Structure 1
Amino acid sequence: MRHDPLFERLWDGTAQMEEWTAAVSHGAITHVADNIITVHTTYFCGSVTAIRTSEGLVLIDTAKPETAKQTLDVIRSWDDSPIHTVIFTHGHIDHTSGITVIDQEADARGLARPRIVAHRNVKRRMERYEASHGYNSIAQSQQFNKPGYIYPIGQRRPDAVYDDTLSLSVGGERIELFHGRGETDDATFVWLPERRVLASGDFVIWVFPNAGNPRKVQRYAADWATALRRMEALAPAVLIPGHGPVVFGEERAAEMLRHGAEALEHLVRETLALLNRGASLDAVLHAVKVPEAYLGKPYLAAKYDDPEFLVRGIYHFYAGWFDGDAAHLKPPRTADLASELAALAGGAEKLAERATHLSEAGNFRLAVQLVEFASAAAPDDRAIQAIRAAVLRKSIENENSLMGKAFLAVYAREAEQRSKG
């Protein structure tokens, strides 16, 4: 076993991932096996694995724009060979953007740029990001609480693509690629059969699976579980997650893969059981929960995505966009509904006052709904906007997931700005 004391504390839950991020921020190397390393710079940047072969290096992912050069410099401190092949585990920028720095290095050294290998849908993803660039920039700025963020596009496309499986041989190293759907529809996990080393991509990320992102396209909880089961069957001796530290040992790797699959299977099974009885989305959202036995695992903590968001995604995957509430089939404009409710309550300020009371009592779901109605009914009322900001800020304090906090913060900032006129 090669785990250090910090890993052991992460595994038993006495250390937080923020401590690990601080420890690797200089650019840390994990020696995975002979001629294989994984480079880490921060939890929020995907892991980059380098494999030394007689034909040059093979890289699994390339880092994000902010850490790409640092990551390449760390790799170069280990090996200065040309980079022969780059494998994208999927098309998100924290895994693909470093190809620009890698290409620039190859050009400067007068070498051929490395070939890029990925699933066929990576190219389609990159094309979609260009078509929806404005929206994607907005969504990313909200999700990561970075106002004004511009999503980078224009990464080099894959040179070779595959559909279900692909076998590569580079410099005597056998590399098997497997496609699965999970966080994305273009995901790859990488298996080195002679080493029993598995690079999972973002199928494993040291938090609860990110299959319910509120502002992203459909994600695939059931397929994600299937991919994890497929990986578990390989019995890896080393598991390299898409984010977070490397896991050594067949038993721990199997546990991580199995528990992730079981948690997802539970959500899918329970959602479908209610859906097949005609339950509305409202009923499903408030009935289907992840057993605490899973959420208590340090690698399944609901710190990034929220299992409730996954339930919503599962429901819509099987049932479409309509949620089973007749009022939502052709809903009125929110402002019109809010004005009607405000009139019934005796004014928008009454809704805001009630929202404050509910917030103080810890009923944040109702509080946020009522204060948003008050805002929609009286968007220029500074006092109501100040109450709205306070209610939203208090709700943020009660929110566990990073996504929940970030999206609520968007509207809290808006309310604060409106309260000042």
Structure 2
Amino acid sequence: MRQDPLFERLWDGSAQMEEWTAAVSHGAITHVAENIITVHTTYFCGSVTAIRTSEGLVLIDTAKPETARPTLDVVRSWDNSPIHTVIFTHGHVDHTSGITVIDEEADARGVARPRIIAHRNVKRRMDRYEASHGFNSIVQGQQFNMPGYIYPIGQRRPDEVYDDTLSLSIGGERIDLFHGRGETDDATFVWLPERRVLASGDFVIWVFPNAGNPRKVQRYAAEWAVALRQMEQLKPAILIPGHGPVVFGEERALQMLRDGAEALEHLVRETLALMNKGAALDDVLQSVKVPPEILAKPYLLPKYDDPEFLVRSIYHFYAGWFDGNPAHLKPASATDLALEVAGLAGGARKLAERAAALSEAGQSRLAVQIIELASAAAPDDKSIQATRAAVLRTCIDGESSLMGKAFLAVYEREARQRAKG
């Protein structure tokens, strides 16, 4: 199938994903193959794939709460058959929350609710989200700049689970499920062998792999690469990413899978090489970088996660929480340290002045560290908080990843509020 002009510009880097999101915001169908479509509503909502079978529809994922109804409406514009089976590629809400709308429709029609199939760990993830509901709400609100956000919980759990692989036959369609660990420990990629269609879930997301989120549980960079290599061996003719447009053609599908694997393998290999020589986390962070030719790939841009965050996650996976700095093993409180440093510097305002100068000189990282010491030493000083807000804004403006911008913005807002008193 010939790709559309917008896809070609996304592929060569002359268009940004924001343009594609605008183009599909009304709810767009990609005709993947005979009796298979993928529905898109926005980049930030996972894609939903519908497969028409003689027993009813099979859906791969279900969208997030805000887009669940529009997504189902788009599916219904294509086929009005009962939904027989839903496959969750993992337990994140932008892939599972639409099951509520689907169940409501089944109840209204007086037909059976679809069975849900997923990896065994999806239930455990959903249970964990309920146990840490307050924290998840805070973190998601910070990450997506939505103060007061309430994380949706209570999605229906899977009816059938599997561990490593599962082969299904539904209405004449063979569907193979494979488990892997990447962004999550409960991830599934879906393979239609007779069609050579691969639905990767969030193993492929049209940006640099999201394996280093600063406020989320452990991610699995090395195993993510293994899963991408498994997919590469399948030689798909069509690749349906978890986020972003469908990729047609074996050559491009394999390139996307291969390049993602190589990027992750590089970070894991270089991080481990230094760790095996006894390097502390700071040394690793200063030394391990992704080659620029990898970051130049339009589908590996570090726009959401940051490769530096991945290095931290890799280090943590192999080494635990201690970073190798003895001052961090049993540290003094942040306030005690800040007061001591401020005293040595001649006061918290001296620290703030120095932070401002560093920021103006382009040393944003150091400036943020110094201004946070000043803030901790004098949290009620309005002038220091105003300087803090300005320093953080400069750092935000120079940050490439959405996560980095979002988390820094949390503290910029806090500083502006304190500056007003």
Match of 2:256 in 1: 256
CA distance in 1, matches of 2:293, 2:220: 22
- 2:389 aligned with 1:386, yes or no? no
Taking the TM superposition and a 5 Å limit, the aligned residue runs for 1:20-419 are: 20-419=20-419
Question: Which amino acid in the other structure matches residue 223 of structure 1?
Answer: E
Question: Which amino acid in the other structure matches residue 321 of structure 1?
Answer: W
> SS in structure 2 opposite 1:188?
strand
> SS in structure 1 opposite 2:207?
coil
CA distance in 2, matches of 1:417, 1:123: 40
Aligned residues: 421
CA distance in 2, matches of 1:84, 1:361: 61
Question: Which amino acid in the other structure matches residue 343 of structure 1?
Answer: G
Question: Which amino acid in the other structure matches residue 334 of structure 1?
Answer: A
CA distance in 2, matches of 1:115, 1:310: 35
Cα deviation per residue 1:355-381 (whole Å; 9 max; x = unaligned)? 000001110110000000000000000
CA distance in 2, matches of 1:281, 1:144: 28
> SS in structure 2 opposite 1:111?
coil
Cα deviation per residue 1:228-270 (whole Å; 9 max; x = unaligned)? 0000000000000000000000000000000000000000000
CA distance in 2, matches of 1:26, 1:142: 26
> SS in structure 1 opposite 2:104?
helix
Deviation at 1:2, TM superposition (A): 2.1
> SS in structure 2 opposite 1:116?
strand
Question: Which amino acid in the other structure matches residue 326 of structure 1?
Answer: P
Question: Which amino acid in the other structure matches residue 53 of structure 2?
Answer: T
Deviation at 1:315, TM superposition (A): 0.3
> SS in structure 1 opposite 2:50?
strand
Question: Which amino acid in the other structure matches residue 105 of structure 2?
Answer: E
- The two structures, once aligned, show a CA RMSD in angstroms of 0.3
CA distance in 2, matches of 1:289, 1:147: 33
CA distance in 2, matches of 1:146, 1:373: 27
Question: Which amino acid in the other structure matches residue 261 of structure 2?
Answer: A
> SS in structure 2 opposite 1:200?
strand
CA distance in 2, matches of 1:165, 1:97: 24
Deviation at 1:201, TM superposition (A): 0.1
List runs of 5+ in structure 1 lacking aligned partners: none
> SS in structure 2 opposite 1:113?
coil
CA distance in 2, matches of 1:153, 1:184: 17
Match of 2:10 in 1: 10
Deviation at 1:418, TM superposition (A): 0.4
Question: Which amino acid in the other structure matches residue 148 of structure 2?
Answer: G
CA distance in 1, matches of 2:150, 2:82: 32
Percent of residue pairs identical: 84
CA distance in 2, matches of 1:156, 1:359: 49
CA distance in 2, matches of 1:151, 1:352: 36
List runs of 5+ in structure 2 lacking aligned partners: none
Cα deviation per residue 1:181-210 (whole Å; 9 max; x = unaligned)? 000000000000000000000000000000
CA distance in 2, matches of 1:212, 1:351: 31
> SS in structure 1 opposite 2:287?
coil
CA distance in 1, matches of 2:266, 2:229: 14
Question: Which amino acid in the other structure matches residue 361 of structure 2?
Answer: A
Question: Which amino acid in the other structure matches residue 127 of structure 2?
Answer: E
> SS in structure 2 opposite 1:286?
helix
CA distance in 2, matches of 1:326, 1:208: 33
Cα deviation per residue 1:306-331 (whole Å; 9 max; x = unaligned)? 00000000001000000000000000
